[in-house]
Structure formats: structure tokens, C-alpha cells
Amino acid sequence: MKSQTEHSANDPVPSRRGGSGSSAARKPAKASWLGLRPGTLAALVAIAALLLPLSALSQPADSTSPGGFLARLRTKFGLSQANLGEVDPTSETIRLATLGLKNVAVTLLWDRANHYKKVEDWTNLSAVLEQITKLQPNFYSVWDFQAHNLSYNISVEFDDYHDRYAWVMKGIEFLRQGIAYNQREPRLLGRMGWFIGHKIGTADEKVLYRRLFKDDDDFHDRDRPGRTLPERDNWLVGREKYLAGQQLHDEGVPLKTTALIYHSEPMMTAINYAKALEEDGVFGDAARDGWKLAGTEMRRYALRDIPTTWDVPIRLGLREERLERASQLNEQLEQLLPGQYKAIEQKLRDQLSEAQKQALDTSPMDRTDDQHKAAYAATEATKVSWTMVAREAPLDVRDKARELARQYVETTETAEIIERYREIVNFNYWRACCEAEVTEPALRAREAAWRADREFKAARLQPAKKAFEESFAAWREVLDGSEILREDTFMAEDLNELIDKYRKVLDQLDEKFPTPFVLQDMLDRR
């Protein structure tokens, strides 16, 4: 017999409100097909229904079909791994093994990489970065970061220059691996060009590095079989990489870096090549050919379209042409509206206060603080443009004047933008160098300076003195033929270093410094 507190499985469950419960409480819930509740069944049906369009969207491409919508988009925009570069089975396997947590794994690995870099644990840092490249083979920064780590950070840990060179080349080879996986990434080609050029060509061990690089058959046979010994110069090989990157960009690949700087590198590597020849004691036709190559790259750079922040592409070599065009437009406007520009200028000046007029008439060196402020305000108040003049032109020529004024403003603004961008890369100086260095006086000046330095180091003072003086005389010819070089600070610094060596020679010979000196203007610029 069961107690009053016990219930069988078939007894109604008492309601919480008392009694035996409502009729709804006594009815068991309806079970759907296979014992699933209706809500669960509806969710499964919806999932199954969504699988059909998702399958169609994500259908992979093969030799017989372009695949689904996503596959066609990857093909159209070149986003698949086959479009980006070589496919690494290990990399693909590791990414699948993360089960969708690739980004989490990469974040943790980057955190470890930053830690190992901070504590200078280069071995573990190298291992972590290798793992990151497997998870992110198309991430530019990891290739750049690891290559820099190998060539710059780890290489200096060794005493023997052969070992240091080997680690420098490991970084360069790492970039080559990255380029294989990212064949549409001009920046990696640029970084390889930079490492080959600057790391090998400007390091303290550059003389030894350049020699080892020329003799590195393993690298050159992999990089470009058939490269001749003269072509194995590190600066020329670096230039090849930049040219390859430029070609990719010209084929429509986005650059994703500062175009102004990137496109200047072939010119700069050619200039560094010519300078390296002279540092090695190579002169004559070989040195002239080096500078001719630099001039060719400079002219190619000058005619390349460079994007600007004003959304107007420019060409660095067209500033003079723009200024000439502006001068022509100015003459046309003056002929169309004779004397009106100066008339408006005088009208505005007449409206100035006496204090402002007095400030303008006072020499800037003699102005008080208040007069400086007044002069600035007066200058701003009396600024005249052809746009202002055109607005007040006679009705019969007003439309023509406005159009000429518009062209004048556009032309002068373009010339100003070009000059700003030229200053960033010191274009005027390098162009003047390329033009001057192929001349006989410049070649004689460089060769005489090299001989003077060699004689001085060998303690042959009289021959050193004579060679220095030959170099200074030749430099005088070069400077007299180029106003840009004559006024440039870099040129003055280089020549003053040469003059300081000459002073040391004179001191040891117990001779006085000549007065007047043939390069006195360079001394004065110091």
C-alpha cells in the first residue's frame, strides 16, 4: 500500500497552487518526430535549408568549374593562395588544425615574439616567427620583421665576419621565401633590395661583405643564374629587386607604401653603386658608366607619375615646364588686362593704416615686435591674385580672363606641390650630382681625392698634399658649373671633410693653410 505522500508514475502531479493541478498540467507535452520538440525540429530544418545556399556560395573551384560565388570573387580579385603565391601544404595543414582559432593562436604567438625580442632571446624569437609565417604566410610584417631580426639583430652577435655575413644572407633568403608565398607584394621585393644594398653596402664590414657577396655562387645561382661577375655588385642586385617591384606595381598591384620614396630607390641604388666604385678605386670609363646609369634612373624617376595627398598625380621632372607655362599665362593676362594687377595692388596698399605703411617701409632687421605684426598684417591685406583681377575685368574679356586665371592658379599650385615633393627626396641635389659627376672635372676631383687619402694613410705627405690640391682645383670647376651643388649643405660637408684631411697634412709638413683658399666659399658655409 502506498502512503499519501507517494505517487505512481501515472498519478497526476499536484499543482503548485494546490489540488491535483489543472488539466493542462495533467497532459504530457507532445513529442514530435524522433522525440524532438517542435522548436528543435524547426531549428534543424532551418540549418539544413541554409546549408544549400552556403554550399553553393562556398563551392571550391576546380579544373572543370569556376566554383561558387566566393570562389569566383577570390579569382576575380586574386585573393586565393594560388593567386598570391606558392601553396605550402604545411601551412595549410596547421591553419586547418587550429579549428577556426587561427587568429587566437597568432595573437598569442605575437605576444611571445615581443617578449623574446625584449629579452633578446633570438633563438626562441626566430622559432616563434617561423610558426607565425605558417599561420600567416600572406602577412607582410612577419616576413619583414623576421628578416630584419636575422640580418640585423642576430648577425651582430657573432665575432667572425663570415658568420655575420651568413646571418645577413639568412635574412635575405627568408625574404625570398616570403616573396615566393606573396608574389604580388612589391614591398617584399623592396625590402630585399634594401637589405642587399644597404646592409651589405653600408655596414662597417662593407668592403668584406661586398667581396663575399660577389663570390656567393649559391645565392646568385638561385637568384638569377647567368649573372656575370660585374653584375654581382650588391647595389646592382638591389636595384634589380626594386625594378621588379616597380614592374609589379605598373601591372596594377597596389603598392601599400609611400610611392615617392619607393620609386626613388632604383635611382638611389644606382647612385650608391657609382659612389661605391669610386670608393673601391675604380675610375675612368667604369666610374662614368656608373654615373650614367644613375642619370638614366634619375630621368626615369623624374617622369614617373607620383600620387599626392592632393589626389593629383605629379611628375618631379615637370616643375620647370610648369613654371614656364605659368610665366606664359602671366604674360597673356597682363596683355589682356594691362596694368590692372598693379592698380589693384596699389589700391589695397592705399587702404593700409599709416602704422602698417611705416612697418612695410622699415627694414625687417630694424622692425620692433609691433612693426613685425603690422608688416605681416599689411602683407596679407595687400596680397593680389589674378583671380581677384579677373573678377574686376571688363565684361567683354571677363570670361577669358577668368579661364586664364584658373589655368595660372592650377599651374603654379602644381609647380609648388612638385617642389614640396622634390624636397622630401632631395631631388634637385641628386639630379645635379648625376649631371655633374659624369663630367671630366668631377671624375678628376674624385680620383685625386682618392689618391690623396691613400697617400696620406701611407704617410707620403708631399704626394698627398699635391693630390689634395689637384682635387680642390677640379672641385672648383665642378662648383662653378652648378649653382645647386655650390649652395648645397651636403656638398659643403663632404668637401670640408676633405679639407680637414688636407689641414692635417699641412700641419705635419709644418706649412700654413693657403690664403686665399680655392674653396673658400665651402669653408664659409661651414
Per-residue pLDDT in tens (0 to 9) along the chain, 526 residues: 444 444 444 444 444 444 444 444 455 545 455 565 777 777 777 777 777 776 666 666 666 766 666 666 656 655 555 454 455 555 556 665 665 677 788 888 889 888 988 888 888 887 888 888 888 888 898 899 889 989 998 899 899 999 999 999 999 999 999 999 899 999 999 999 999 999 999 999 999 999 999 999 999 999 999 999 999 999 999 999 999 999 999 999 999 999 999 999 999 999 999 999 999 999 999 999 999 999 999 999 999 999 998 888 999 999 999 999 999 999 999 999 999 999 999 999 999 999 999 999 999 999 999 999 999 999 999 999 999 999 999 999 999 999 999 999 999 999 999 999 999 999 999 999 999 999 999 999 999 999 999 999 999 999 999 999 999 999 999 999 999 999 999 999 999 999 999 999 999 999 999 998 999 999 998 8
Please indicate, yes or no, if residue 75 is contained in any of the structural domains. no
What global pTM score does this model have?
Answer: 0.79
Please indicate, yes or no, if residue 245 is contained in any of the structural domains. yes
**How far is it, in rounded angstroms, from Cα 79 to Cα 61?**
13
Place of cell 504530457: 28
**How far is it, in rounded angstroms, from Cα 115 to Cα 286?**
49
Listed residues 396, 430, 464: the one ending a domain: 430
* Pair 375, 250 in one domain: no
How many structural domains is the chain composed of?
3
Task: Give the three cell numbers for residue 355.
Answer: 602704422
pLDDT at residue 9, rounded to an integer: 43
* Pair 204, 352 in one domain: no
Please indicate, yes or no, if residue 110 is contained in any of the structural domains. yes
* Pair 296, 333 in one domain: no
The DSSP element (H or E) to which 169 belongs, if any, is helix 161-181
**How far is it, in rounded angstroms, from Cα 256 to Cα 263?**
13
Beta bridge partners of 306: 314
* Pair 118, 139 in one domain: yes
pLDDT at residue 525, rounded to an integer: 85
Beta bridge partners of 314: 306
For 306, phi and psi rounded to 5 degrees? -115, 120
Q: Residue 80: helix, strand or coil by DSSP?
A: coil
**How far is it, in rounded angstroms, from Cα 196 to Cα 210?**
10
pLDDT at residue 321, rounded to an integer: 97
* Pair 473, 327 in one domain: no
Listed residues 276, 302, 328: the one ending a domain: 302
* Pair 474, 348 in one domain: no
Task: Give the three cell numbers for residue 454.
Answer: 691613400
DSSP tag of 157? G
Residue 419's CB is within 10 A of a number of other CB atoms, namely 15
Concatenated DSSP letters for 7-53? --TTSPPPPTTSTT--HHHHSPPPP-GGG--HHHHHHHHHHHHHHHH
Please indicate, yes or no, if residue 37 is contained in any of the structural domains. no
CB 213 within 8 A of CB 271: no
CB 201 within 8 A of CB 272: yes
Task: Give the three cell numbers for residue 78.
Answer: 586574386
* Pair 345, 490 in one domain: no
Place of cell 612697418: 359
Q: Residue 314: helix, strand or coil by DSSP?
A: strand
* Pair 119, 257 in one domain: yes
Listed residues 246, 276, 302: the one ending a domain: 302
Task: Give the three cell numbers for residue 216.
Answer: 656567393
Task: Give the three cell numbers for residue 90.
Answer: 604545411
Please indicate, yes or no, if residue 379 is contained in any of the structural domains. yes
Concatenated DSSP letters for 197-256? IIIHHHSTTHHHHHHHHHT-HHHHHHH-TT--TGGG-HHHHHHHHHHHHHHHHHTT----
* Pair 243, 354 in one domain: no
* Pair 400, 512 in one domain: no
Provide the residue type at 393 as one letter.
A
* Pair 168, 284 in one domain: yes
**How far is it, in rounded angstroms, from Cα 329 to Cα 297?**
32
Please indicate, yes or no, if residue 64 is contained in any of the structural domains. no
Give the domain range for residue 227: 95-302
* Pair 373, 292 in one domain: no
For 159, phi and psi rounded to 5 degrees? -85, -40
Please indicate, yes or no, if residue 253 is contained in any of the structural domains. yes
pLDDT at residue 226, rounded to an integer: 93
Please indicate, yes or no, if residue 378 is contained in any of the structural domains. yes
